[in-house]
Structure 1
Amino acid sequence: MKLLFVLGLFISSASFASMDAQALLAASDAIRNPTQSFGLTSTLIEYRKGKETDRNTLAIYSRPDGGRFRNLIRFVAPIRDAGKLMLKDGNDLWFYDPASKASVRISPQQRLLGQAANGDVLTVNLALDYRAELAGEEEIQDGDRKNRACYKLKLKAISPDLTYHSIEMWLDKTSKQPVKSLFYTESGRLLKTAYFRRYQPQLGAERPSETVIIDGLDPAWVTVIKNSDYAWRDVPTSWLQRDYLPRFKPE
């Protein structure tokens, strides 16, 4: 009887830890993602050994759909890529080139620029796509080399078509703001490290305006994603259809 009671406490504690980790992950999602349709501009800058080597500017339109987000991304610069589109509809990701007038299915794991994958610029809800485990509490250095007391989460993908197989994430204990993440392949190889920084008030919450991504093998290969021009906006469902891509006209 005593053994059953102890076992019951253990199962209850394990369930609570799992639920608490998932709640923490959901809280971090709410910090990264507005709750209504919105738009923003993302500028991706690639650096090699501290020198800028490439740059892309994207206009992103995002609409919540059943807890997840549907996204349309328009390439703004450089000129050679202007007008190209990328669409996330459910688990499908499509790339459209107006020159060929063809849309092809692509993977969220494919590189967009430097260390930034296609999936890195999409609005995602990690709490729906990953199972979270609370791995403890740690004090770490953030992207500005300041010490932060954090919760550490371990995330495992629930589907093989997600951008990353597993993630380690550190959230500020007080604010639940994402501070740092490590991204891994299925074999456990470190792909990249990301720091979320320069939080600013945007659309009703303090959100990271900059993500610094460092290559898992070459720390001198860095990609910075800068988000700006946040705005509430209606994103018509018609924009988020593959068949509509050839007719899309930015406002």
Structure 2
Amino acid sequence: MNARSKWTALAGLAVFAALLAAGPAEAGADAVALLSRADAIRNPQTSFIVDVDLVAYEKGRKTDSTTVTTHSRKDSNNGQFLSLVYIEQPNRDEGKIILRNGNLLWFFDPASKASVRLSPRQRLVGNASNGDVVTANFALDYQVELIGEEEVMDGDRRMTPAYRLHLTSESDITPYNAIDLWVDKTTSRPVKGEFFTQSGRLLKAAWYRGWRPVLGETRPTEVVIADGFDPQNVTLMRMSNFRTQDLPQSWFSNSWLPSFRKP
């Protein structure tokens, strides 16, 4: 082999090595981009208010329901949402508030004027937890890895080509230790999620559906949540009446909750 041939071979090996080295980083960047895009579809990336109805069913029979209004504002420090969830129904819980501020979740009861720390993993109604009704960008709370591509059944029982992402929690504020999220290959819409405990046990599965034009994007307005132990226990979370509003930063302080009044 002459000198030029040796140089060409060595250059080729160097390029190949560089591509191998870049592979995981590029795959990671692609996974983050996919998750960020799915976040932007799930939630308007601005200050907004949305009404949320949650209805729990067991074997097709309604067993419980809750109505809340979620107020969300992006935190200028990190891009994550600050959320204030005002409980409208049932009547016995009217006026109670769930607040997410940074890595803390608070529950405020107007009867006692007291606030207590709250677990995001505690159930609110049916299969829906406290952490499910606060607004959050997954990309800021989880490490994400692109697992591969596969077909998955969507919320309308159609098989959909999707990317499968694996999310690992980076914060105590998250309601789940890990999530497998399927994202439509064509639209980047979230299709299905599976949510796990630290031990890897499946807590619940969720399907995103009810796609409607909402605040400049086609978004899911329904999430069907099935229990990981008994798939006949299902909770329907329905979002409606999205509206933008410039929400004051002061609203999202634990000390200010006694002063909150519905806009």
- 2:211 maps to a residue whose letter is Y
Q: Which residue of 2 aligns with 1:58?
A: 68
The answer to whether structure 1 residue 157 and structure 2 residue 161 are counterparts is no
Which string of whole-angstrom CA distances, capped at 9 and with x for unpartnered residues, describes residues 184-204 of structure 1?
Answer: 111000000000001111111
Quote the Cα distance in structure 1 between the aligned partners of 2:172 and 2:104.
13
Tell me how far 1:250 sits from its aligned partner.
Answer: 1.0
Identity percentage of aligned residues: 48
Quote the Cα distance in structure 1 between the aligned partners of 2:173 and 2:197.
12
- 1:58 maps to a residue whose letter is V
Where 1:164 maps in the other structure, the secondary structure is: coil
Quote the Cα distance in structure 2 between the aligned partners of 1:149 and 1:3.
35
Q: 2:228 pairs with 209, 216, 224, which one?
A: 216
Q: Which residue of 1 aligns with 2:80?
A: 68
Tell me how far 1:5 sits from its aligned partner.
Answer: 5.1
Number of matched residues?
251
Q: 1:32 pairs with 42, 47, 59, which one?
A: 42
The answer to whether structure 1 residue 84 and structure 2 residue 96 are counterparts is yes
Which string of whole-angstrom CA distances, capped at 9 and with x for unpartnered residues, describes residues 118-140 of structure 1?
Answer: 11111101111111111111111
- 2:150 maps to a residue whose letter is E
Quote the Cα distance in structure 2 between the aligned partners of 1:39 and 1:160.
25
The answer to whether structure 1 residue 44 and structure 2 residue 54 are counterparts is yes
Q: 1:204 pairs with 193, 207, 216, which one?
A: 216
Quote the Cα distance in structure 2 between the aligned partners of 1:237 and 1:160.
23
Give structure 2 stretches of 5+ with no counterpart: 1-9
Tell me how far 1:10 sits from its aligned partner.
Answer: 1.6
Q: Which residue of 1 aligns with 2:32?
A: 22
Tell me how far 1:235 sits from its aligned partner.
Answer: 1.1
Quote the Cα distance in structure 1 between the aligned partners of 2:172 and 2:122.
14
Q: 1:166 pairs with 178, 181, 204, which one?
A: 178
Larger radius of gyration: 2
- 1:112 maps to a residue whose letter is L
Q: Which residue of 1 aligns with 2:254?
A: 242
Q: Which residue of 2 aligns with 1:131?
A: 143
Where 1:163 maps in the other structure, the secondary structure is: coil
**Segment drifting more, 159-168 vs 112-121:** 159-168
Q: Which residue of 2 aligns with 1:106?
A: 118
Tell me how far 1:147 sits from its aligned partner.
Answer: 1.3
Quote the Cα distance in structure 2 between the aligned partners of 1:81 and 1:113.
12
Task: Give the conservation status (yes or no) of the 8 Å contact 2:103–2:172.
Answer: no
Where 2:176 maps in the other structure, the secondary structure is: coil
Quote the Cα distance in structure 1 between the aligned partners of 2:154 and 2:251.
37
TM-score (normalised: structure 1): 0.97
Tell me how far 1:3 sits from its aligned partner.
Answer: 6.4
TM-score (normalised: structure 2): 0.92
- 1:57 maps to a residue whose letter is T
Tell me how far 1:7 sits from its aligned partner.
Answer: 3.8
Where 2:186 maps in the other structure, the secondary structure is: coil
Where 2:256 maps in the other structure, the secondary structure is: helix
Which string of whole-angstrom CA distances, capped at 9 and with x for unpartnered residues, describes residues 155-197 of structure 1?
Answer: 1112244211111010111110000000011100000000000
Quote the Cα distance in structure 2 between the aligned partners of 1:205 and 1:7.
41
